Amino acid sequence: MSDFKENIATFARQFVPSYRFIRTHESTLDNSHKLQTELNHHSIKVLNWNIAKNNFEKTWFKDFYRILRQYQPDLIFFQEVRMGVGVEQIIGLTNFSWAYAPNFIDAHHQTYSGILTASNVSPVSKKAIVTKHYEPLVNTPKVSLITEYSLSNHRKTLLTINSHLINFVDINKFKTQLQEIELALSTHHGAIIFAGDFNTWNRQRAILLDKAITKLGLKSVEFATQESKKIKRFLLSPPLDYIFYRGLTEKPASAKVLDEINSSDHKPLLAEFSYVDM
């Protein structure tokens, strides 16, 4: 592992200027124009997708609008989203409330990079969790974004967390990020959706994620065998992308992986839930 780290550091010094990637001071950026205030508890459609910073590309727009038309998601969890510095709106999301948690600024392109959660309702609250550790090469942290939503005809709320887990670091730093997320979710006793790119490209990482999910009482959305094979992997690794949930009922046959979408190296994941107050 030490040789690997030294090689990464050497590459960084040779090819990535130290001033290229700047850590950002903004915890969240958002656009919360007035929409309905409650999610329909009978049907909560979820889209989870690492879009690989392609949201300025025409092919990505075409794919995204097709998904919006066909599946009409209520909650959208994006990872690796680019956003122009000083820009107040993200094209394609004008009809959504969204919160954006950047983890760095690309000084060359004058863009943020980060994760984004969008919804067709306005959130009750939002909070970003930035990792204590940094990834090598770009020397920037990873970020998770918690948003909370009201549910129709219920006093309890739905808590969602959109995460991109840290990569190219030793397993203890990966574990630390999971523990930070566990702590943030542990105080919420209602329904939860936990989605993102978990970078579980080896067995050690997958085991740690499974332990965290079990501790929080979450379940993984069940994709049919043929659907599961379409989810992004690294060689023969476990899947990298997941949707976990608690306190909700997964609608039968709703879990889909959109294999025909090619504007990112990750495939969009879809699921639908309903909420019954027990």
Phi and psi torsions of 158, nearest 5° = -100, 125
CA 215: distance to chain centroid? 20
Query: CB under 8 Å to 223, separation ≥6 — which residues?
Result: 231, 255, 256, 257, 269
Give the CB-side neighbour count of residue 272, counting CA atoms within 13 A. Answer: 12
Tell me the pLDDT tens digit for each residue of 42-84: 999 999 999 999 998 999 999 999 999 999 999 999 999 998 8
- Tell me the pLDDT tens digit for each residue of 228-243: 999 999 988 999 999 9
First to last CA, the chain: 48
Amino acid at 38: E
Looking at domain 2-274, its CATH superfamily turns out to be Endonuclease/exonuclease/phosphatase (3.60.10.10)
Please check whether residue 2 is in contact with residue 127, taking contact to mean a CB–CB distance below 8 angstroms. Answer: no
- The whole-chain average pLDDT of the chain stands at 88
Q: Is the pLDDT of residue 90 over 80?
A: no
The domains of the chain are located at 2-274
Q: Which residue has the tokens 């920037």?
A: 140
- Interatomic CA distance for residues 254 and 51, integer angstroms: 21
